[in-house]
Structure 1
Amino acid sequence: VLGAWLLYKAFALEMLISMLQAAAAITGMPASLDDMEQDLDSIMTDICRVLPALIGKNGSFLGMIGASPILRLAIVYFEKRSRPAELAWCLKMAAGINGEATGAAARVLHQTLDPEQRLSLSIALLEQLSSVYDEVTAGLLLNLATDLPHSNVNKILTEILASQIERGAGDNVAALIVGSEVFLDRLLSLASERLASSSDYATSTPDVLLSGYAQAIAPSFRHISTQENATSSLNFASHWMDFFTRALPSTMIIAQYDRFITIFETLVLARYANLVAECEHDLALLASAKSILPPRWLFVLLASGLDKTMQDQNRKYIGGWMLRTDLKSVDNALGFVDLLQDPFMPWAVEGTLYVSSTKRHGKGIRCQHGERVANFISSVLRRRSDGRAVQSVLNMLLDFLIARQASLFTSAAIHILIGIADGLAQLRDIGLPNESIDKVLAISSWNTLSDIASDALVIQCHKTYQLLLVSTRTTQPSLSNLSRDRVVSLIAKVERFQRSSRSDSYTQDAGLLQLSNRDLAIDQALTKCQKLLTTLDDGLEWDSTELLSQLQDLYTDVAFLEYPRQLLLTSPRVCFHPEVLRRAVDSGRSGDRQIAEFLQSTLTQLAQVATRRSFAFAPLIVSLRRALLTVPDAAGLLNMQDFLVTISQCPPQPNVDLIMEYSMLTILDSIAPGRVNTAIYYGFPEGHGFAAYLDLIGRLGAQYDGLAMGIANAILSRWKQQKDPPPSVSPWKTTLQLQVLLVCLELAHTSESLEQLGRIVDDLLHILALEPLPRYRHIVEWMVARMQLAHLSLQSHSRKLLATRDHHSNPKFLASLMKVGVMLAGTPDSTEDLASNLAMTFVSHSASSKIVVRHEAQWSFPQLMEVCRRRDWTTIIQNPAYTTLEDYIRALPRFGDPPSERIMSALDPMKDHSLTNLTEGLWTQLDDTRPPLTGREDFLRLYEADRQYFTDTWPSCIMHLGPPISRAPGPDPFVKADPEPIQASTTSLTNLESKALQTKGTAYFATPSTSFPSTPPHRTILISSLVDNALNLGGLSRCAEIFGAEALYVRDPRVVADKAFISVSVSSHNHLAILPCGVEALPALLEAKKREEGWRVVGIEQTDRSLVVGSRELGDALLDRGGEEESKIVLVVGSEREGIPARVLAVCDVLVEIPQVGVTRSLNVQTAAAVVLFELGRLRRERDGAGKKGVAGVRRFKEHAADGETELQS
């Protein structure tokens, strides 16, 4: 009756609503329920009064007669009336009728309520749930709270669910939250934390892993792998374990935890570098959203791997993995900031990482590690969810910088600030407190940095300061007095950076920047230098004495101030001004050599400084070039030959500090791209200096007699005196030497006699016969071709050598002669006779037994035929033998797709003879990853700068600049590509074991817990007194230590110092007693061991009564005596040839041999000992019932335990 009455009420309500909707559709007027408010309230009151009783008594009957439509109408009504409490009550009723309706009810809530209504409804439901727990209310709250991640509803609901788990309802909670990733993750993390708080389970949590390393951690890992503590007697822990195993498939949990154990063993305990690299896939899985393990397990693993006690190579790999990996799934987790603070940031700022990763990229130098750290910090800040999270990371980074100011690597500080600024720039409306501003301003006041580092630091601090002003909504007047002073200084430094065109003077900023006494002295010296330059440019009126006094006064300041950068860039223009050199030459002619001696001394000292500070080389050589080309007679006065030779032998190269400075220039270039920072701080780039150096030799040699030949002889004498065969890499050899030699020999073509040139060609051919490196050989081939091209009679020197039939003594030399022959054949002055002789030679060499000769002949022959076709030499191109051979060679796959070395080493001695090809041709890529010292752009800048001087009297360079080098599109060959970032893992959790990990060095984890009952001690001694080979003894030491022998007897203990022994033993003798026993004393020793100490003697030998390894008889023979005797065994191995002699065999209790299948009669003594030692250990473990790894081994023990302890749970 009640059900029918409710149906009537429901249908009446539906009819009223339908009528209103139809009337609204016809009239176009909006539908309103105001007129029926009293009737609707009455119906709803009746429904709310009757429904609880019906649901409690007979929910199925109510569902049958139509309770769901009634509730649906009630939901619509309360939603329209904005009455969330009644609406939630109706939704709860609907879920109570049909459990599957909870999700639908939640969807209705999402669609009909705004966030504030959902929050108020959640609070109301929480109050009800706190007093009386029921799953329907919890399910509705679960869906509501998922959309409210930052409210207290989440935390309270998590605690309520946790309390239910601890009361034993873990199964129900697991079923409830299985579809909610947010609460599943929260409760799984909470499960690990609650389990960690249990005293019996504490050693199974990762926190204990931080307390020590191999010795302390190994027992803990055995504890985890055997799961002994999983049988906790505390209901508290067991309830959480129940929830854990119900919320996720048990196989998945076990697989991930077991995998974690293996990874930890590999990274932290075994520490093999190659095995650590193999764990990258598993680390990516742990850092992904697919990981079951809470993030703090990953953090503990990474923190342990980055500890200072670990090997640097492994720390570098793990830290690099963090920098390359997208950690968005874990970087907001609790404990991540602690991981960053220590140990990640102390590792990330180590100077060696910055120095080793600073490389040339294109025209600039970049620090790859610094850029990765900056990008990492930026991404961490960008992904913070609120101002508090951002502030925690920001304060940690700024505090870290301030605390380590004195010891912090400069580049590290700047890149950290870059990361902070970039991260803050991409955040909006985060509402940071203003405490970070004071810290940034404190960092901006650091005054112990170099000019470039200070400017880079100031720019990044200013950028960060402006971003923080916006984020914290702070105004400058609200700062402290100290901070306001620092702001004024910071702004002054930024303005100075923006307006500076050269860093030659500090006077304009002295009031703001508070310069030191040294800086003021440098400024005074710069002013003095500028006045001298003006005087010299306007025309010198001083006498020689006054000029010398002024120069000495200036250089005394330079030396006293320890050659500061600003003066090294400017003083050479004064000391080696053309007017000074002209006065020195004039004074020298009159017998006054004081100025000349001063200039010689200054040049020597500045050259020495340039070897330590390579940036000083460019201004020095540029000033010398201008002065010497204007006053060439001064070359002898300055002893330029020795200076130029010294530079070719030891080209100034930037040291580590300067390379790091150049990397900061790249940073400044990115901040102010229109500003020529290199010129501002260092004047000329180093490539500009080497361009001036080569150009000076090419011009001055034509003006100053004997200079070019003197340099050539100095370089040739060292190269032709090298030993045969020379080492592949010699520290005294440089590419610049051969480049200078080529330029000098170009000048010698017209100035030296044919006889002298012939000797030079012979020297070059001798060098070519010895030199192993391709790039050096290429330049020597170039020089030989140029000299024989200039003097055709010199070609006979190489023709005789090319016709040799000895292809075995020096095949590389023959290959080079063939290359030179093809070069000469392609020149306009070549003859058909030369080409014919080469063709016949190439045909014979194409069948050479030496691969190098054969391949070079086959590569050169088609090129020679192409030359003959261009010159229409019919006797060659119509020869069927030649054409057939050419067709065959061209059909070879390697000819159509030649290796890159063939393309790089191609040379036309006419077209390719230019400064551009000499300095940056493709040949520079042959066998060196270092970029060229200079290039075409440097020569162009040099010649552009020459326009400001009067150069009409300067001679032309012996080599023209030439066209630019045509390069195939692609990456810079001298730049190493950055490693690819690691993407989040997509591996299925069910395929964790698809990739095996090596566990080398972690076998001791297989040993069960030391809680096993006591067993008889197992003792083994290996006796190798009959073995005399040090390699075999080293191997026996290794086998004995690995398989647990306590001592090794040898004939002479001094063998442990033998290199052969050490190379095989790999330090095993340091963990094993090495005892002496001679061959004659061996039988007596064995008898004493048997009689006095109860040892059994086992010999490894093939005899008629030997027992076979693996047989039951051997086990019975070794283990049949009971007591302790079977646990004390002396193992004797025989000599390599005779084996065990009869008198020793007579003492043995048991003889053992290894079964064989193959034809070879015997094993090496090391191998035989290893097999028997392993078999002995296996038999002992079988007898004791131990040795199984993990759960199986512990279960085997517990099954035999007398106390009847409960079987171990997995």
Structure 2
Amino acid sequence: MHLHVLLDWEKAPSDVDETSISSVLDLLRGADMAHASIESLQSVPSALFSTIEAWLALRQEKPLRNALVVWTKWFSLPDHLLPTQNILCNPDRHYFDILQNALQDCIGHLALQKYALYVLRRSILLLKRDVQTMSFKFEIEQKLSYLAEYDKYCSLFETIVIGRSVNQAKECLHQVPVFETWSDSGEKEKVEAADASGAESRETISLPTRVQPLVRQTWWTILFGAGLIQANSEPIRKLLAEFVLQKYYPISEPDSHALASYKLFLAQSLLPYVMQGNLFTRSTHRCGKAIVSTHGESLARFCANLHGGRKTRGTFGGTILNYLVENANTLNPHATCYILQGLSENETWEVSFEDAEFAVGLPFRTAFSQIQRVILIRHCVSIVSKLAPQATDIEEDQAARRTHLHNRLADLQSVITENRQVFLISPKQEERGHFIGEPTSTWRIHQLNRWIGFVDGATQQAQWAEAPKSFLGQEALCRLARCVRSESDFRDYVGDYTQKLFHLVQGKTFLWKPLAQVLRDAYFHFPNHFPQSVGLETEPIARSLIPGSLNLLDHPQVEDVLLGFINNPPLPRPEYLLDAAIAYRETDDTGNHLLNVFADEMIGHVCMFDMLNRLRPGHEAWGLQLLDRILEPWLQQKDPVPMVAKWKRTTQAQAIIILLEKCVHKLDDARSRLNTILSILALEPHPRFRFLLEWALVSISQRVTVLETSANIGISSLPLENIGLQMSTSRLRSADHRNPKNISSLIKVAMQLALNPPLVLVPFSNKKMEADNLSLLTELIAMCASPKIPIRHEAQWCFPILFAHCEEKGQRSIIENPAFIAMNKFIIALDKYNAPPEAKLLSSFDIGKDMNLFTLFEGGFLRINPSEVPLIRTADFEEVWKQDSPSTVAHIAPPRFPLGNGIAEWPFKVQISPPQIPNLPSRSVATKKQGQAGIANLEAAPGSTPRAPAPLQTKSVSLDAAFNTLALNGPLDSPYPALTTSAPDGPILVASLIDFPHNLGGLSRAAEIFGCASLYIADIAVLQNQQFKNVSVRSEIHVAIKELKERDMAAWLRVQKKEGWTVVGIEQTDSSIMIGQPVDDHQTDVPTMPKRSIIVMGAEKTGIAAEILVECDRCVEIKQWGVTRSLNVQTAASVVLFEWRRLWGDGR
């Protein structure tokens, strides 16, 4: 019997290799076992299990692998050697507990997990008695139900953890049971009431029973733990983490084993993943003015819902706190805050003394920002407040610990007291005293000293936020007006401190809102309007020293600030957004926010654009100066212009449109800017910028028309004409068709100018407008036949719109033209005209209706891919305007652009597109005559280097000479024996696990091309399947295809291995040999596959089954550089077979 070998395994388990294991198991499986004694046969199962148990107890990788290999192969032995009922069902042997621990230890090893699941399936099939252990329960009366549930568990484990397909995982996650349920609603409360009323009442109350899944929770916890390991793909980990946070957590008292398992899962799997900073950053978005991190909210809700009753005192909450304390220096601080927020909201957690010690120690273990520390301390104090009252009879050591705890708690509360007035919405007004007293000539020096002290000493956010008001607020500027000697001194002061504060904004975006507000107030209020609330007689002083035409924006430093904003609007960093998100959750009992931390930089953006939209009369020349500085980098672009440029911003194009409308009042200025916009539009490839530039072109074209018409009024010899439309039509006639995007834009502009003629003092004559429209429609007919798709589509889109406009105006020469009528009828019948693509609708624009702030800042053009989130909303303009006093509104200029009708929320998601590769410069194409001349010259040139001949395709297109239709009607068990030309020395390809005929056809093709000795499939009848034939292209007549059922594969492989073949499985495992791995200079190219190889392909979804995988002598996988999990089975087989041929050539 040779059982002494098994005993040797037990004595030295770490020295055993798979060869000796296979030898002994082959011996047990062999025919000579019939001569063994009954006693020795009875001891085999017990000896095997004892060996497996000893290996697993070592908790090492090699013994673990040996144990699971032996355990898996054990089930291939004869029935009388399989695990007995005494081994399976005896509570003292802990068979299923040991198996569960083995599955837990297999996390990260895909092949070993397959072995463990196979053992689980086979073991349950053998059960004939009830089993009850910590981790496993089985009732023989419900055997079919248990078999179905555990088979579902194994299938889900293979799909989610081993298969790692996100789409398949999403489809099957709903089959995972919740952590624990009760038999009906409200019964959990009955149990809690019974516990509270005491034992006597429990006897009289009918207690509910828990409804537990047949597969215990510990098994499911292992599944999620295996799926969350770092080796798995990010989409799978994210999917599982979201499921756990939303649904898979204890909502009532778990048993002790489930409790221990879930604690381990929290500390080793869940918390390390869900506390990663990128999860919070990626899930951060705006909800109105609030900043919300959906992942952070889920994490806080999870911690708040974790059940923590009497039995679990110091468990889940304590486990989380302990993890935070031990890893405090490496954890994401925002994640820590969200967890503490959730734990403090947990109503079922009875905090133990140890938990309280963890809580008060956490703020002293790591470096948090001030806002994070305040939030953290608030919730640590809240957690400690849940600690049970102190008992009277406590030990001395316990009393000392409690004293230390109370001292720590007092320290935390003092920190909150110190920081409360700093971070609350009503900050401490410490700086008001600096303004006491009459302004003097040394006041500016005093302000400079304050600035130096402020920069050196300000540490709190509230102090920084008060700085713009302290140095540039109305009160400060009113006092400045009494001290300065000239206008330049006043402007220099404003410019100096505006630039200083703007430089600070780059790292402290919360400064941007107050800075932009005080700058807007200063521009609108000075010098014509001074507030009277400060109690100073400033108006006479201001009028005497500061002229009424003072333009604070004209100062070079202030202009640089404005230009800096337009070119790069200040945006909060992700860290500050998360600070705002966690601070937004801090509210009092009435729902009021406690902390003044908001990401409201968009109010600052509104203030800056509102100044441009309301430029005061006389400041237009400065506006044109700013416009030219914005346009300068756009004019310096060289063709071809890349789609994405780091310096380009939507705010630049928006400012261009506002300044063109507000500042261009001279004909020369209008014509100059018209040519500039045309030059930029001709080169710009980005659809969002093209839309805004088209808008600008329509606007400036109308302005040219108005100014030209105003100049011609009264001159009878000059007719009044729509100059802008005529110039656009003329450009269409002479446009370069090699730039179809530009012509498409010119068509849009011309149509807008035709539909919306500008309002002038003397209207254009109907006859003249009809002639202009006739000229444009004539050009559109030609454009409708353009070979360039963008031109043709745009012309076909615009023609019916303009024709309908002419019908409305009664322009008979157009609407009675047969050619126009036929063209209009044809276009409106097209499907794409009646159901246009989304991009066409989003890029539509009507200057008669859309000339407003809503379209400019929230228009549909922002949704054109690559889309962009609106930087400003019309609601932000309304908020700023509401804060203006009536006296301010009375004297400032009205907005050039009205608000427009907008909506509060933007109903679409952002789609981030990768940057596109810049277009290469276009090359001129030679004509046929020029090309022939060039070839002749090349041939005649003496001494020229001859070009390499063009490659000729050698792939045959003729029918195989040996092919005949009679062969197709041969018997299926021996397909085409006379036609097979398989290489006798090639590898054997086994595809019995493949189901789809399409894939089998591709494998037949690969096997024939790479000269396989034979191909084995599960059903030979698939050769007649049409899907198989479509892909195989008759390769099946050239390769020996044989039938091998999946159930017979393991035995067949064992036979082949005895004959000298090596079984190579194509599977991704922790011990696979990599194909395609670069070889270093110091390494040798060791063959990944031997010459006599049987290559086993795995199933499409589940790969190679465990009972087959355990027979593989080695596994290989293909080196991957992308993120997709695997190749199609046909492609994978081709790569492996090519590698075999690369190693062994003809195989001879």
Number of the residue aligned with 1:711: 626
Q: Is the 8 A contact 1:715 1:737 kept in 2?
A: yes
Q: How many angstroms apart in 2 are the aligned matches of 1:931 and 1:472?
A: 58
Number of the residue aligned with 2:1043: none
Bigger Rg, which one = 1
The match for 1:342 among 254, 265, 268 is: 268
TM-score, normalisation: structure 1: 0.57
Residue 882, structure 1, aligned to residue 820, structure 2: yes
The match for 2:464 among 545, 550, 568 is: 568
Residue 304, structure 1, aligned to residue 229, structure 2: no
Q: Is the 8 A contact 1:362 1:972 kept in 2?
A: no
Note the alpha carbon deviations across 1:417-472, whole angstroms, 9 max, x for none: 34334441xx5xx9876775666566689996545445544665566567777999
Q: Is the 8 A contact 2:284 2:294 kept in 1?
A: yes
- The aligned runs of 1:523-672 (5 Å cut-off) are 527-528=430-431, 530-532=432-434, 541-543=439-441, 546-561=442-457, 564-577=460-473, 600-629=495-524, 630-631=526-527, 632-668=550-586
The match for 1:393 among 290, 304, 316 is: 316
Note the alpha carbon deviations across 1:864-888, whole angstroms, 9 max, x for none: 2333344333333344543454444
> What residue identity is the alignment partner of 2:655?
V
Number of the residue aligned with 1:365: 291
Q: Is the 8 A contact 1:358 1:660 kept in 2?
A: yes
Q: Is the 8 A contact 1:761 1:784 kept in 2?
A: yes
Q: CA deviation at 1:1019?
A: 8.1
Residue 811, structure 1, aligned to residue 730, structure 2: no
Number of positions where the alignment pairs a residue of Structure 1 with one of Structure 2: 809
Q: How many angstroms apart in 2 are the aligned matches of 1:954 and 1:362?
A: 29
Q: Is the 8 A contact 2:108 2:231 kept in 1?
A: no
Q: Is the 8 A contact 2:179 2:217 kept in 1?
A: yes
Q: Is the 8 A contact 1:533 1:574 kept in 2?
A: no
Q: Which secondary structure state, in structure 2, belongs to the residue aligned with residue 365 of structure 1?
A: strand
Q: How many angstroms apart in 1 are the aligned matches of 2:1073 and 2:336?
A: 53
The match for 1:862 among 800, 803, 810 is: 800
Number of the residue aligned with 1:961: 898
- Bigger Cα displacement from structure 2, 409-418 vs 450-459: 450-459
- The aligned runs of 1:807-956 (5 Å cut-off) are 807=737, 809-829=738-758, 831-927=769-865, 929-947=867-885, 954-956=892-894
> What residue identity is the alignment partner of 2:451?
Y
> What residue identity is the alignment partner of 2:522?
A
Q: Which secondary structure state, in structure 1, belongs to the residue aligned with residue 846 of structure 2?
A: coil
Q: 1:585 to 1:633 in 2, by over 3 A?
A: farther
Residue 225, structure 1, aligned to residue 114, structure 2: no
> What residue identity is the alignment partner of 1:531?
G
> What residue identity is the alignment partner of 1:938?
D
Q: CA deviation at 1:555?
A: 0.9
> What residue identity is the alignment partner of 1:205?
L
Q: CA deviation at 1:734?
A: 0.5
> What residue identity is the alignment partner of 1:825?
A
> What residue identity is the alignment partner of 1:827?
N
Identity percentage of aligned residues: 20
Number of the residue aligned with 1:776: 689
Q: CA deviation at 1:271?
A: 5.7
Q: How many angstroms apart in 2 are the aligned matches of 1:633 and 1:243?
A: 84
- The aligned runs of 1:29-428 (5 Å cut-off) are 198=93, 205-211=99-105, 218=111, 221-222=114-115, 225=118, 244=138, 246-249=140-143, 264=157, 280=173, 292-308=214-230, 310=232, 312-325=234-247, 332=254, 334=258, 335-381=261-307, 386-389=309-312, 392-424=315-347
Number of the residue aligned with 1:973: 908
Q: How many angstroms apart in 1 are the aligned matches of 2:831 and 2:86?
A: 65
Q: How many angstroms apart in 1 are the aligned matches of 2:463 and 2:386?
A: 38
Number of the residue aligned with 2:647: 732
Q: CA deviation at 1:693?
A: 0.6
Note the alpha carbon deviations across 1:702-748, whole angstroms, 9 max, x for none: 44453211221122121132232322221111011111111221233
Note the alpha carbon deviations across 1:627-684, whole angstroms, 9 max, x for none: 2341534434443322211211111111011110221243136965445x68x446x9
Q: CA deviation at 1:557?
A: 1.6
> What residue identity is the alignment partner of 1:972?
P
Q: How many angstroms apart in 1 are the aligned matches of 2:894 and 2:104?
A: 72
Q: 1:705 to 1:1167 in 2, by over 3 A?
A: closer
Residue 800, structure 1, aligned to residue 800, structure 2: no
Q: How many angstroms apart in 2 are the aligned matches of 1:938 and 1:195?
A: 72
Q: Is the 8 A contact 1:846 1:855 kept in 2?
A: yes
The structure where helix makes up a greater share of residues is: 1
Number of the residue aligned with 2:7: none
Residue 720, structure 1, aligned to residue 649, structure 2: no
Q: 1:193 to 1:637 in 2, by over 3 A?
A: farther
Q: Which secondary structure state, in structure 2, belongs to the residue aligned with residue 791 of structure 1?
A: helix
Q: How many angstroms apart in 2 are the aligned matches of 1:592 and 1:1168?
A: 80
Note the alpha carbon deviations across 1:394-427, whole angstroms, 9 max, x for none: 3333444444444443332332234334441xx5
> What residue identity is the alignment partner of 1:708?
G
The match for 1:1067 among 1048, 1062, 1077 is: 1077
TM-score, normalisation: structure 2: 0.59
> What residue identity is the alignment partner of 2:102?
V
Q: How many angstroms apart in 1 are the aligned matches of 2:91 and 2:833?
A: 69
Note the alpha carbon deviations across 1:863-918, whole angstroms, 9 max, x for none: 22333344333333344543454444444454444444344333332432223332
Note the alpha carbon deviations across 1:149-179, whole angstroms, 9 max, x for none: xxxxxxxxxxxxxxxxxxxxxxxxxxxxxxx
Q: 1:393 to 1:736 in 2, by over 3 A?
A: same
Structure 2 gap ranges (5+) = 1-84, 182-210, 394-398, 528-549, 706-722, 759-763, 913-993, 1000-1045, 1097-1112, 1114-1130
Q: CA deviation at 1:309?
A: 5.3
Q: Is the 8 A contact 2:602 2:872 kept in 1?
A: yes
> What residue identity is the alignment partner of 1:211?
D
Q: 1:838 to 1:466 in 2, by over 3 A?
A: farther
| Cα RMSD, aligned residues only | 5.7
Q: How many angstroms apart in 1 are the aligned matches of 2:853 and 2:136?
A: 79
Q: How many angstroms apart in 1 are the aligned matches of 2:179 and 2:996?
A: 15
Q: 1:828 to 1:665 in 2, by over 3 A?
A: farther
Q: How many angstroms apart in 2 are the aligned matches of 1:600 and 1:654?
A: 24
Q: How many angstroms apart in 2 are the aligned matches of 1:210 and 1:724?
A: 61
Q: 1:603 to 1:319 in 2, by over 3 A?
A: same
Q: Which secondary structure state, in structure 2, belongs to the residue aligned with residue 729 of structure 1?
A: coil
Note the alpha carbon deviations across 1:1007-1063, whole angstroms, 9 max, x for none: 899999985765899xxxxxxxxxxxxxxxx99999x9999xxxxxxxxxxxxxxxx
Note the alpha carbon deviations across 1:957-1003, whole angstroms, 9 max, x for none: 4x243332268xx97324799xxxxxxxxxxxxxxx9999x9xxxx9
Q: How many angstroms apart in 2 are the aligned matches of 1:597 and 1:721?
A: 32
Q: 1:312 to 1:465 in 2, by over 3 A?
A: same
- Bigger Cα displacement from structure 2, 442-451 vs 297-306: 442-451
Q: How many angstroms apart in 1 are the aligned matches of 2:294 and 2:1052?
A: 46
Q: 1:395 to 1:749 in 2, by over 3 A?
A: same
> What residue identity is the alignment partner of 1:643?
V
Q: How many angstroms apart in 1 are the aligned matches of 2:483 and 2:352?
A: 73
Q: Which secondary structure state, in structure 1, belongs to the residue aligned with residue 285 of structure 2?
A: strand
Q: 1:1170 to 1:206 in 2, by over 3 A?
A: farther
Note the alpha carbon deviations across 1:358-410, whole angstroms, 9 max, x for none: 112233211111111223233332xx6x5324663333334444444444433
Structure 1 gap ranges (5+) = 1-189, 507-525, 978-992, 1022-1037, 1048-1064, 1078-1094, 1099-1108, 1111-1126, 1128-1162, 1181-1210
Q: Is the 8 A contact 2:279 2:295 kept in 1?
A: yes
